Every structure is written in structure tokens, then in C-alpha cells.
């Protein structure tokens, strides 16, 4: 796995150094801590990273913690997050989550998977993102990029992200888990795209099941 991660990074740096993912950027620059990561991850679903980043900057400049967001009006949140997908649903959802964090957890985001997935609209991927980006705990958030690339490389042979997560957890040493999502997502956005992946520039193609099957 170390060679795969290093190969992805060297490939991206040789082609064009990628911009940080939205969640990595939240981790690096936001002062809202785990709460901003949780809300940012919910907002990022089916939304481009650029849009998520812009919306989050505006949102967290006004609503800095769970209590302030819990007391927000839906129409005010809708105005802020309108540029992203499903903003009507997401506005209500993040206020609902903020209320639970404020009232049930004293404003502190839980740092375990079992509790996080009990929050409305928070599945395993979102919960794992919070563990990785907010708490730097080992987990493997599997989105479309992680699922696609893992199958292309031949690391797994799975039909859905849930199965991919379970298989990766079995096969990959825990010390690498925290880096998988960030690196795989950047690679999926920039090199190993869904359509017309840039196999010619890929430094790990010799170990890629997809490349061997399509280019041989």
C-alpha cells in the first residue's frame, strides 16, 4: 500500500500538483474543529469540492458552533448553501444534526463510529470521514473514487462501497487507513477518472488490474 500511495502522489505531482480535497482543506484551515468537518461532510455529498469549500467558508464564518447553527432559520441556511446540490434537504439536515450535537452531546461531536452513524443523514462514509479528518483516527471512508480505484487496481472485487470498505479493512494495514481517502479521492479527480483515466502517466499502472486488462 505504501508503494501505491507514493505512486499516486508522484504521478499527480509530475502532471499537476492537485488542490486539497474539500475535507482536507476544512481540516487544515477551519477553526470549527470536528463540528465543521461533520457539517462539511454532510454538505459535500453529491457536490463538487470547490462548491463545498466556498459554501463552508461562508457558513462557518457566521455559524461557528453547534449551538449557533442549531438556532438558525432554515431560510437563512438555504441562502448560504444554495450553490450546492440538494440545498433544501441539507439545510434542514444540518440544523437537525446541530441541535442533537448541542443538546445531547453538549456541543461536542462524538468520536466513535457507532455514535456518529446514529445522527440523521450520517452513514458509514460520513462517519469515517469525521474520524479521519476531524480526529485523525484510522478509518477508511469509501466514496465513488475509493470504490472505483480499489476495484481497478485489483485490491478488491466488490459491487458497492460498503463491501469495499470491509475488504480494504481486512487487507490493508491500519497504519495506512488514514491516508487512503484523501489520496485516492485526489487521484480519482485528477488521474484515475471515471471516463478516460490517464493510464499513460500513471506510475502504478504496472500493478493495475484495469490497465493490464485494457492495454494488453
Per-residue pLDDT for the chain (216 aa), expressed as one digit of tens each?
999 999 999 999 999 888 767 777 776 665 568 999 999 999 988 778 788 889 998 999 999 899 999 999 999 999 999 999 899 999 999 999 999 999 999 999 999 999 999 999 999 999 999 999 999 999 999 999 999 999 999 999 999 999 999 999 999 999 999 999 999 999 999 999 999 999 999 999 999 999 999 876
- In 10 A of CB 34, how many CB atoms? 19
Handedness of CA 197, 201, 205, 206 (dihedral sign): positive
User: 107: which DSSP letter?
Assistant: T
Predicted TM-score (pTM) of this structure: 0.90
Lookup result for grid cell 494495514: 173
- Backbone Cα Rg of the chain: 18
Packing angle of the helix pair 177-190, 2-15 (nearest 10 deg): 30
Amino acid at each position: 500500500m505504501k508503494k501505491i500511495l507514493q505512486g499516486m502522489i508522484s504521478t499527480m505531482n509530475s502532471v499537476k500538483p492537485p488542490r486539497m480535497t474539500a475535507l482536507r482543506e476544512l481540516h487544515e484551515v477551519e477553526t470549527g474543529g470536528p463540528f465543521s468537518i461533520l457539517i462539511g461532510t454532510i454538505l459535500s455529498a453529491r457536490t463538487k469540492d470547490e462548491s463545498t469549500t466556498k459554501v463552508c467558508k461562508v457558513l462557518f464564518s457566521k455559524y461557528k458552533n453547534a449551538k449557533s447553527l442549531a438556532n438558525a432559520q432554515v431560510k437563512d441556511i438555504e441562502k448560504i448553501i444554495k450553490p450546492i446540490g440538494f440545498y433544501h434537504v441539507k439545510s434542514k439536515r444540518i440544523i437537525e444534526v446541530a441541535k442533537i450535537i448541542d443538546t445531547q452531546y453538549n456541543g461536542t461531536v462524538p468520536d466513535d463510529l457507532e455514535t456518529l452513524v446514529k445522527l440523521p443523514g450520517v452513514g458509514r462514509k460520513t462517519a469515517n470521514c469525521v474520524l479521519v479528518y476531524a480526529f485523525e483516527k484510522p478509518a477508511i471512508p469509501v466514496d465513488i473514487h475509493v470504490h472505483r480505484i480499489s476495484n481497478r487496481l485489483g485490491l478488491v472485487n466488490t459491487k458497492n462501497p460498503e463491501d469495499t470498505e470491509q475488504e480494504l479493512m481486512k487487507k490493508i494495514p491500519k497504519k495506512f487507513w488514514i491516508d487512503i481517502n484523501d489520496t485516492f479521492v485526489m487521484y480519482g479527480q485528477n488521474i484515475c477518472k471515471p471516463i478516460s483515466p490517464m493510464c499513460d502517466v500513471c506510475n502504478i499502472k504496472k500493478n493495475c488490474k484495469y490497465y493490464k486488462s485494457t492495454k494488453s
